[in-house]
Amino acid sequence: MRITLKDLAKETGYSITTISRALAGYDDVSEQTRKFILDVAERLGYQPNQLARQLQSQRTNTIGLILPAYGPRFSDAFFSEFLSGVGTEASSHSYDLLLATQIAGTEGLPVYKRIVGSGRVDGMILLRTQQHDPRIEYLHSAGLPFVAHGRSETDFEFSYVDVDGELGLLLATRHFISLGHRRIAFVAAMPDLMLTRHRLAGYYRALAEHDLPADPALVVYGDLTQQSGLELGLSLLQMDRRPTAIVASNDLMALGVVMAARQLGLRVGVDVAISGYDDTPLAAHADPPLTSVNCLVFESGRQACRQLIELIQADQPVVKQLLLQPNLVIRASSGTSRD
Amino acid sequence: MRITLKDLAKETGYSITTISRALAGYDDVSEQTRKFILDVAERLGYQPNQLARQLQSQRTNTIGLILPAYGPRFSDAFFSEFLSGVGTEASSHSYDLLLATQIAGTEGLPVYKRIVGSGRVDGMILLRTQQHDPRIEYLHSAGLPFVAHGRSETDFEFSYVDVDGELGLLLATRHFISLGHRRIAFVAAMPDLMLTRHRLAGYYRALAEHDLPADPALVVYGDLTQQSGLELGLSLLQMDRRPTAIVASNDLMALGVVMAARQLGLRVGVDVAISGYDDTPLAAHADPPLTSVNCLVFESGRQACRQLIELIQADQPVVKQLLLQPNLVIRASSGTSRD
DNA sequence: ATCATAATCCAAAACGTTTTGGATGTCAAT
DNA sequence: ATTGACATCCAAAACGTTTTGGATTATGAT
């Protein structure tokens, strides 16, 4: 059904070579026959087979991206925004995206090997790096161009785009300190994630700046779900000397903490100050509206994609590292000065 | 760098054919040499080139999906959930997703032609159908398997998964009627979308069931943004005989209506009842929590993908049409009985 | 007439697979 | 010895492109 160069050759009487070169605009085919060939191609609705083209040229103009596994309710806006940023940038360079989904409960690396090994992508974008990240080591050893969203601890340099989590938590914690809080808790994400370490550093730095003690009991680790925010919030707020402010590592956990406060009869923004992280649409419309750290997710995706395409098209691989600066969005949940 | 069958042939001394058949598990290669070949393949880290395989087999095991264009803030959770559903189902059948982004401000059809014509996908999933949808006509005429999310008006039958919008709005409107409301407004989406027509039908049906008059002034059309919800909400709530209940066609517009009510000093859930649509995470955490219609987005994506894969693998194309039943999630924004 | 030059075209190889249709050798049955 | 059956292997074609390295013809200069 599909029209190929062979069909055009048969129809026009020229050879496949000439058809191909005419369509590609080479100057060793006369203007007259070029026009003729273009006409016929147009008339028959010829569309080049990209697979054949890619196989021949060894370039796919495709960027790979692996979606982490999800349950039935996909409640984190992060990926859609990031993806949207990547997609926008990709399509403006005529790149497409190959998306594979990591099945819940399976290890991630095999999917990477499958996609990379299959030769269907020119490069990969990595999401949610870990402190020790086998995917990065694999991609590096495989020699495929890649850009990570987030940093990692490796023996080599690699390209990444990251949002400065240390700055993010520094801003949030400073904000609470400036409102007069002295016992500030941090509901962190999983400890093996790089972002956890960076944010933790920002948290400690803010405390140190103001000579506040760092109480280990005030740092707890959740799994980014609202449920874990609720549980950790309940335990934090029932401590002997409970924290007066709580920073969570994403908006969902912050909303969990809000629920916890409510269950304990505490007024958010008055009895306890709460801040989220990521500034998802949730934050702006929560009750009360949630102070949060805007992480420029769309922009990160865009930049990551831009860097990757540069990397792919460069003759010489160049490592580029970009650190975006988040900004604090202050809303009612952080309350007013305690003085 | 990459290991090919040719390399394995050279390494083992067998022919390319035998290598290929050994790896594929044909029984015309002895158990002993098969083991040997597998060992070598493993040792050299052989990964079959999917491009070559796809070119040869004329199957790509890839599903195409085109992301509508977005601005910098991607605030609709719909796509991420849908995509997550599609991705989950796809990967459980070892299919991958090819994603292209439609650049903002450009026409949609060329992207479809590019992806379909390129031969890189076995089928497509269509999002947000329109009443008259050129994409559907194109895909039908191109003979490529596809499943639409949403219905359309065509001369032929095609496969779709849809959520019964008529039922959705019927439930929401009935709910308000049962609470004693008599003037119920509908903030619809763009009139050229099929979903608008279906929901409108449900709205009218509910009114008719209870012999309520259908006031044309109470039906207004927005563009699914919060801003348009705000504007339409302001104009509706400043009418002479203002509506006492408003159903919006997505949560974002509903939140805009909530803002409008607040600006006019009306208490949501008391002076005016409001309902959203889609039941995004926003709805549950809004202030006040928003009554909404849960549309099983993840499930739709899953079903659409499942149907598409069936369609691709069937010898005989079978049209399948699936209508999922949404359910109303009642929260504080719809208030209590007015009696 | 001969030769270089330019213009226009094309056959064949290559990309990495799978599949088709044998080829070869072994062994038991005749 | 021949035959047939079976096990094991492989050369070549095919998928649809692009690129390489000419081949052919016409043109103009000598």
Greater confidence (A80 vs A177) lies with A177
Give the single-character DSSP code of B237: H
| Residue-range domain boundaries for chain B | 5-48, 62-163+297-325, 165-295+328-334
Greater confidence (A247 vs A74) lies with A247
A143–B1 CB contact, under 8 Å = yes
B49–A100 CB contact, under 8 Å = no
Greater confidence (B305 vs A225) lies with B305
Closest alpha carbon to B147 in B222, B81, B214, B63: B63
CA-to-C1' span, B119 to D11 (A): 30
B287 pLDDT more than 80:
no
In order, the DSSP letters of B166-211 are: HHHHHHHHHHHHHTT---EEEEE--TTBHHHHHHHHHHHHHHHHTT
Cβ of A97 under 8 Å from any chain B Cβ? yes
Please report residues of A whose CB lies closer than 8 A to that of B77. 74-75, 77, 80, 281
A100–B96 CB contact, under 8 Å = yes
B188, with CB counted inside 10 A (0-12, 13-18, 19+), is buried
Task: Give the whole-angstrom CA distance, residue A283 versus residue A289.
Answer: 6
A101–B97 CB contact, under 8 Å = yes
Please report residues of B whose CB lies closer than 8 A to that of A4. none
A77 pLDDT more than 80:
no
In DSSP terms, which residues pair with B63 in a beta bridge? B97, B123
Q: Which CATH superfamily includes the segment(s) A62-163+297-323? A: Response regulator (3.40.50.2300)
Q: Which nucleotide is nearest, taking the CA of residue B34 and each C1'?
A: D8
Integer CA distances (angstroms), A317 to A89, A143, A303, B230, in order: 20, 10, 17, 50
CA-to-C1' span, B151 to C18 (A): 40
- pLDDT attached to residue B70: 57
Cβ of B109 under 8 Å from any chain A Cβ? no
- pLDDT attached to residue A285: 78
CA-to-C1' span, A103 to D6 (A): 44
**Cα of A79 to nearest chain B Cα, Å:** 7
Alpha helices (H) in chain A, listed in sequence order: 5-12, 16-24, 31-44, 50-57, 78-92, 109-117, 134-142, 165-178, 194-209, 226-237, 251-263, 281-285, 297-313
Cβ of A48 under 8 Å from any chain B Cβ? yes
- pLDDT attached to residue B76: 62
- pLDDT attached to residue B263: 93
- pLDDT attached to residue B75: 47
Inter-axis angle of helices B297-313 and B78-92, nearest 10: 40
Structure tokens at B36: 């040997």
The per-residue pLDDT of chain A, averaged, comes to: 92
Do the strands B327-329 and B292-294 form a parallel or antiparallel pair, or are they unpaired? antiparallel
Q: Is the peptide bond before A281 cis (omega within 30 degrees of 0)?
A: no
In this complex, the answer to whether residue B17 has its CB under 7 A from any atom of chain C, a nucleic strand, is yes
Structure tokens at B179: 């609470």
Segment (H or E) for B82: helix B78-92
Cβ neighbour number for residue B312 with a 10 Å cutoff: 21
> Binning pLDDT at 50, 70 and 90, where does residue A288 land?
confident
* pLDDT tens, residue by residue, B78-133: 788 888 899 999 999 999 999 998 876 677 788 899 899 889 999 999 988 888 89
Please report residues of B whose CB lies closer than 8 A to that of A74. 77, 80-81, 84, 298
- pLDDT attached to residue A71: 46
B51–A51 CB contact, under 8 Å = yes
CA-to-C1' span, A324 to D14 (A): 51
Only one residue has tokens 């995509």, namely B83
CA-to-C1' span, B102 to D13 (A): 40
Answer for the pair B256, B230: CB distance below 8 angstroms, yes or no.
yes
B176 pLDDT more than 70:
yes
- pLDDT attached to residue B73: 39
Please report residues of A whose CB lies closer than 8 A to that of B99. 83, 87, 96-99
Cβ neighbour number for residue A163 with a 10 Å cutoff: 23
Average confidence (pLDDT) over A105-114: 82
In words, the CATH class of domain A5-48 is: mainly alpha
Task: Give the whole-angstrom CA distance, residue B55 versus residue B46.
Answer: 19
Give the single-character DSSP code of A69: P
In order, the DSSP letters of A166-214 are: HHHHHHHHHHHHHTT---EEEEE--TTBHHHHHHHHHHHHHHHHTT---
Least CB-CB distance to B118: which of A49, A120, A298?
A: A49
Least CB-CB distance to B80: which of A79, A97, A289?
A: A79
- Mean pLDDT lowest for which of A43-47, A76-80, A83-87, B35-39? A76-80
* pLDDT tens, residue by residue, B2-61: 899 999 999 999 999 999 999 999 999 999 999 999 999 999 999 999 999 999 999 999
Segment (H or E) for B231: helix B226-237
Chain A interface, mutation test: which of B53, B62, B91, B250, most A Cβ atoms within 10 Å?
B91
Please report residues of A whose CB lies closer than 8 A to that of B54. 51
Segment (H or E) for B328: strand B327-329
Cβ neighbour number for residue B258 with a 10 Å cutoff: 28
Domains A62-163+297-323 and A165-295+328-334 share a fold: yes
The per-residue pLDDT of chain B, averaged, comes to: 92
- Fold that domain B62-163+297-325 belongs to in CATH: Rossmann fold (3.40.50)
- pLDDT attached to residue A76: 63
- pLDDT attached to residue A69: 65
Q: Which CATH superfamily includes the segment(s) B165-295+328-334? A: Response regulator (3.40.50.2300)
Query: What CA dihedral angle connects B167, B173, B178 and B184, to 10 degrees?
Result: -170
Structure tokens at B109: 């059809």
Phi, psi of B308 (to 5 degrees): -65, -45
CA-to-C1' span, A19 to D19 (A): 13
Answer for the pair B274, B291: CB distance below 8 angstroms, yes or no.
yes
Closest alpha carbon to A87 in B49, B250, B70, B60: B70
Q: Which nucleotide is nearest, taking the CA of residue A9 and each C1'?
A: C10
A73–B255 CB contact, under 8 Å = no
Inter-axis angle of helices A165-178 and A194-209, nearest 10: 40
Please report residues of A whose CB lies closer than 8 A to that of B52. 55
